[in-house]
Amino acid sequence: MKNPFIIFSKRLERGTLIWLLICALVVFLPRIEAYFYPLTISYTWSYTQEREALKRFETVEKARLSRFKPLWKRCAPESLSAADWQRLGLSPKQSAALIRYRDKYGLHSLAQMQRIRVLPPALLHLIADSLLFEHLAQEENRPGWINNKKTAPDQKEQSPTQIKKLDLNTASEAQLVALPGIGQYTAAKIIAYRSRLGGFLSLDQLREIRGLEPEILQKMLPYVQIDQGIQPILINEVSYETLKQHPYLTWNQANSIIKMRKQRGVFKALHELKESVLIDEETYKKLLPYLSL
């Protein structure tokens, strides 16, 4: 009988067996523990943590934005000097870098300026509607445009009661830009919020748009109204991805609604939503006009 090629000693066999047992425990012990002690997720706790984190973020954001100043006039960004950028809140180093970029590439559009690393997004957000680019300047200098509103040549500006108001739920970006105080950046934000919302129910909802300053809102309100209705959310058909985009819901609340629907099959009445611990009375009242079975 031939001798075995590899000879294991008793000590090596015991050591190998113990090592295999340890590996098996490492792999299977967490699964056994999860089986006997399943993890319970508290959506109420998650929602509370999310709200507290949002409050902390808003506090930090306000402190960060306080160093930036609004643009004192409507002008082309290429006309601003290094001293002007420092007056807006940039450091001397940032201002010098921005001027070098301007001299080399020019400042031709808002999209281009958003790609400039030394230009903080918070400052650009603050001054975006005051920046006048070449294509907008040509439009405003055309006969028939006064203070960013179209009127007949050599005719006095019409009062808000004399012009046809825009329907806020159907107005295009170009129509919104033609309103007093509204630039391309703010117009895009209004349309994006309208899309997430499903349509405006009242003009007061414009105040919910972050970054829409009260003075700008005051200028545009006399020129807009609401004629068209909203797009209802079919609560028994809507997906989680769509529902979580709604401004009045957090992702936890949207997830809670979808889970309740799966458990029930369908919602038979809208007030059943209030049975979720995450849907408080205030949220329910704000969301109710947008819901449909």
Given a cut of 50, is residue 117 above it in pLDDT? yes
Q: What residues contact 204, with CB distance under 8 A and at least 6 apart? A: none
Q: How many CA atoms lie within 13 A of 46 on its CB side?
A: 13
- Which pLDDT score, from 0 to 100, does residue 65 have? 62
State in words which class domain 158-231 has: mainly alpha
Task: Please give the single-letter amino acid code of residue 193.
Answer: Y
- Which pLDDT score, from 0 to 100, does residue 140 have? 45
Q: Which two tokens stand for residue 140?
A: 């405003």
In order, the DSSP letters of 177-194 are HTSTT--HHHHHHHHHHH
CA-CA-CA-CA dihedral for 261, 263, 268, 274, to nearest 10: -70
Note the pLDDT tens digit of each residue in 80-112.
888 888 888 888 898 999 888 888 888 888 888
The answer to whether 158-231 and 233-292 have equal CATH topology is yes
Note the pLDDT tens digit of each residue in 244-255.
888 888 888 888
Task: Please give the single-letter amino acid code of residue 1.
Answer: M
Query: Residue 40's pLDDT band (boundaries 50, 70, 90)?
Result: low
**Torsional sign, CA 123, 129, 135, 174:** positive
Could you tell me if 193 and 158 are in contact, meaning their C-beta atoms sit under 8 angstroms apart? no
**Burial class for 175, CB neighbours closer than 10 Å (0-12, 13-18, 19+):** middle
State in words which class domain 233-292 has: mainly alpha
Domain-wise residue ranges, the chain = 44-130, 158-231, 233-292
Could you tell me if 65 and 122 are in contact, meaning their C-beta atoms sit under 8 angstroms apart? yes
Q: Which two tokens stand for residue 281?
A: 């009375």
Determine what percent of the chain is predicted with pLDDT higher than 90: 0
Q: How far apart are CA 198 and CA 231, in angstroms?
A: 5
